[in-house]
Amino acid sequence: MVRARARLSQDIADQGGFDGEPEWREAFAAVPRHLFVPSYFGPSAGGWRRMWGEDPDPVRRLAWLEGVYTDTPLATRLRDGELLSSSSQPSLMAKMLAELRVREGDKVLEIGAGTGWNAALLAYRLGSAHVTTVDLDPDITDSARRHLEAAGLHPHVVTGDGARGCRADAPYDRILATCALDTVPRPWLEQTRPGGLILTPFATGLVRLTVHGPDRAEGRFLPTPAFFVPLRGTTPRAARDLPTDGIARHLLNNDGFRFLLTLTAGRLSPADALEVWQRARHPVRERFGLTADSGTLTAWLDDPEGPDRWQLA
């Protein structure tokens, strides 16, 4: 298993996942993913099949282990066929952790405990006392707590509404969301120190916001596409049906244009989105940004004060 961890860390390094933040490579090599994914669900004809580390069949056990240490997301909890929780793709986790730009002494709040592996990586790097992870589902937080204890790590695991953060451990230097939302909750701004960062999925992307106070945060999207399980009880714009009337198929298959269409859903018609796309010469994700200000969320292209701005519902 040590070799498997080293191989996965090397795969992530080869993709540039640790660029500028080599400390994360040590964390990925040291914290065993298999402790956090004792079982998962793999796709099978007509549904899912359970893979687990205590399968009596040695061939299936080996397949479980190979899946754990492959750079792929793993479905860990299902209910009536609906995905409730997963272990994110390791290379995407590495990129998000690197983009969080943590430093020694930073306090981090994670929204969405999942299996606990991401919190474990943070705790390994920063120390357990500096990490809090929150999830609404007590079954998820209970299992995450067990996994963390098995790994010898003890961050604060809280059962609660991630949209409300965790005021008890605030203020934080960083907030990292590993579930998709359709807003930037005000409690996150209130619980982050001025100058701190919030990194969250939004509209099939990842946006990194600098917090300027309890009412304002602003920042740009990263170039990386990202698809996450929604925060429980929400329907993020990425999960909604997009209007596509009159748009050619090749444009709908273009990642950049589809991101613009998703980001501005409900604010721009497909024809207007196409006009912006063409006028701006096919803008990439990192040309877009978000501003959260006094309860208002605004998406923008290139300049938060420029002409291309859309207030999001």
Q: Which amino acid is at 70?
A: T
Q: What is the C-alpha to C-alpha distance for residues 272 and 115, in angstroms, rounded to an integer? A: 41
Residue found by looking up tokens 């990642």 in the block: 255
Residue 80 C-alpha from the chain's centroid: 24
Bridge partners (DSSP) listed for residue 309: 300
Active site residues: 85
Say if residue 57 is exposed, middle or buried (CB neighbours under 10 Å; 0-12, 13-18, 19+): exposed
Do 256 and 284 contact (CB within 8 A), yes or no?
yes
Q: What is the C-alpha to C-alpha distance for residues 109 and 197, in angstroms, rounded to an integer? A: 11
The DSSP string of the chain is: -HHHHHHHHHHHHHTTTTTT-THHHHHHHHS-GGGT-SEEEEEETTEEEEEETT-SSHHHHHHHHHHHTSSS-EEEEEETTEEEEEE--HHHHHHHHHHHT--TT--EEEE--TTSHHHHHHHHHH-GGGEEEEES-HHHHHHHHHHHHHTT---EEEES-GGG--GGG--EEEEEE-SB-SS--HHHHHTEEEEEEEEEEETTEEEEEEEEETTEEEEEE-S-----PBPTT---GGGSPPP-TT--HHHHT-HHHHHHHHHTTTTS-HHHHHHHHHHTTS--GGGEEEEEETTEEEEEES-TTSS-EEEE-
